[in-house]
A and B are shown apart, each in its own frame.
Chain A
């Protein structure tokens, strides 16, 4: 269990400037307010879990951070720069990557190509005349990522033919391949077996050594085991924020979400 930094340390992180900060982030879909004045700050190196009931606005938060949605109001500051409303490809180049709640890969391409094309977005993308497999640097990096997510043996398999659990890990691999400093994981263990979940938790813990992670998860065991800080969303608002033990003991959180 990772309980190294157990003090609550909300908003401002521990001394150092937060790598990601939202200020008054608000998203409205017509009459529905999916995110309501959300302000949070994530210090570098942290694993931050975002939890909350279905429809609380967790994926919407990720969509804002990764440029899929333009927030109705508020700021998203990443490494000191406001990135709210930038298009997805620009945000990707700022070193923010994500995996998706619903598996989002290139089904008709091989496992290696799924990761290779993500690596390539940073290297030699505009070359028209050399064969794509002739760049050893890109291939090496792609294979290192496949090693990390445990898919090296399946590199020539079509992504569509992988098991659900393996596709979920490929999701993470594609995100990692873009060399992010902030990685947003949207329910990475959804639909996985107990053994697969355990392996993915280990994977997340391993990669967390080098980057900051935002993770949305419904499996409380996974959340309690990984997160240093938990933010609870409820109807688009921040209901509570703190260390896992505090969140578990919080009566309001228990009422709306945990109720075990």
Chain B
């Protein structure tokens, strides 16, 4: 599922698509577990609204940052989200995930029927095709042209009167919606959700080391790794498995306040 059509259009890279996917997945699960009888459209609605809300939140913070920092921040959000899912066992089922029943295919005016493998296939294909067509139209709309203009020349786009941040927020929201939709479809298809789909830690830690320490300083990543591990050890004593939440917050603050990293920051201080 090409959830990055819009991301590609604005020139923003996001690590955090797993978050939106996961939110869509768990949103759908929430609808299917709490509402009796399970309703297909309600699952879709819950998943999409949840994904859109989280996307707006993520977008608000991350569109203030450019390029790599944008990517990193989205990654951090995916980490925080993962930990919440993993540890909030009563609600999310934790590591074991959640199992639920598949809703019937209920099209207004047509008697509802349980999904067969064939109807499920056509349903997914239909939704995917529709959203693809919709997204393609969006990229060619006046709004989509503004996104392309931002990618081509952001300062000039501002200078001719566009509030660039607002356009970026809506772009992230849309791409979050698409990823959320993919999550919903996944949940309906598999009757099962689990935190593994939101997981990004291994590749993520390396990037975190880099940014914490200071990119382009060679020893920076080593310092960053040391700092990260110290932080983890220190915090996990008090916060146990929730330690990634304060780590994520500290990390986000660092990206915002000292984007040059620890070493870069120390160097500047010493030179003053």
A residues at B contact (CB < 8 Å): 66, 68, 87-89, 92-93, 97-98, 104-109, 113, 116-118, 120-122, 124-132, 135, 174, 177-178
Task: Decide yes or no whether B164 CB sits under 8 A from chain A.
Answer: yes
Q: Is chain B's binding surface mostly helix, strand, loop or mixed?
A: helix
CA–CA, A130 to B134, complex, Å? 11
Task: Decide yes or no whether B117 CB sits under 8 A from chain A.
Answer: no
CA–CA, A105 to B146, complex, Å? 14
CA–CA, A132 to B157, complex, Å? 16
In the complex, what residues of A have CB within 8 A of residue B158's CB? Answer: 87-89, 92
CA–CA, A68 to B164, complex, Å? 14
Given A89-B163, A121-B162, A125-B162, A106 and B138 contact (CB-CB distance below 8 Å): no
> 4 shortest A-B CB distances, which residue pairs?
A92-B161, A121-B161, A106-B152, A118-B160
Indicate if the CB atoms of A93 and B161 lie closer than 8 Å: yes
In the complex, what residues of A have CB within 8 A of residue B140's CB? Answer: 131-132
Indicate if the CB atoms of A127 and B142 lie closer than 8 Å: yes
CA–CA, A68 to B159, complex, Å? 9
Residue from the list A66, A107, A109, A127 in contact with B148, Cβ < 8 A: A109
In the complex, what residues of B have CB within 8 A of residue A66's CB? Answer: 159
Say how far B10's CB is from chain A's closest CB, in angstroms: 14
Indicate if the CB atoms of B156 and A121 lie closer than 8 Å: no
Indicate if the CB atoms of B144 and A92 lie closer than 8 Å: no
Residue of A nearest to B134 (CB): A129
Indicate if the CB atoms of A129 and B138 lie closer than 8 Å: yes
Say how far A153's CB is from chain B's closest CB, in angstroms: 23
Residue from the list B138, B145, B152, B160 in contact with A92, Cβ < 8 A: B160
Indicate if the CB atoms of B160 and A174 lie closer than 8 Å: yes
Given A66-B159, A125-B162, A106 and B143 contact (CB-CB distance below 8 Å): no
Between B137, B145, B157, B161, the greatest number of chain A beta carbons within 10 A of the residue's beta carbon is seen for B161
Task: Decide yes or no whether B149 CB sits under 8 A from chain A.
Answer: yes
In the complex, what residues of B have CB within 8 A of residue A129's CB? Answer: 137-138, 141
Indicate if the CB atoms of A104 and B149 lie closer than 8 Å: no
Task: Decide yes or no whether B155 CB sits under 8 A from chain A.
Answer: yes
In the complex, what residues of A have CB within 8 A of residue B153's CB? Answer: 104-107
Q: How many A-B residue pairs have CB under 8 A?
A: 88
Q: Is chain A's binding surface mostly helix, strand, loop or mixed?
A: loop
Q: Per-residue CB proximity of B156-192 to A under 8 Å, as 1/0?
A: 1111111110000000000000000000000000000
CA–CA, A212 to B143, complex, Å? 31
CA–CA, A132 to B142, complex, Å? 5
In the complex, what residues of A have CB within 8 A of residue B161's CB? Answer: 89, 92-93, 118, 121-122, 178
Between A107, A124, A131, the greatest number of chain B beta carbons within 10 A of the residue's beta carbon is seen for A131
Between A87, A116, A129, the greatest number of chain B beta carbons within 10 A of the residue's beta carbon is seen for A129
Indicate if the CB atoms of A117 and B146 lie closer than 8 Å: yes
Given A108-B152, A109-B148, A89 and B164 contact (CB-CB distance below 8 Å): yes
Indicate if the CB atoms of B145 and A113 lie closer than 8 Å: yes
A68-B155, A125-B146, A131-B140 known; 6 other A-B pairs, CB under 8 Å? A89-B161, A89-B162, A118-B160, A121-B162, A124-B142, A129-B137
Residue from the list B148, B156, B162 in contact with A105, Cβ < 8 A: B156
In the complex, what residues of A have CB within 8 A of residue B160's CB? Answer: 92, 97, 117-118, 121, 174, 177-178
Between B144, B152, B160, the greatest number of chain A beta carbons within 10 A of the residue's beta carbon is seen for B160
In the complex, what residues of A have CB within 8 A of residue B137's CB? Answer: 128-129, 131
Say how far A247's CB is from chain B's closest CB, in angstroms: 30
Residue from the list A107, A116, A118, A132 in contact with B141, Cβ < 8 A: A132
In the complex, what residues of B have CB within 8 A of residue A117's CB? Answer: 145-146, 149, 157, 160
Indicate if the CB atoms of B159 and A98 lie closer than 8 Å: yes
In the complex, what residues of A have CB within 8 A of residue B145's CB? Answer: 113, 116-117, 120, 132
Given A89-B162, A106-B153, A118-B160, A125 and B143 contact (CB-CB distance below 8 Å): yes
Indicate if the CB atoms of A130 and B152 lie closer than 8 Å: no
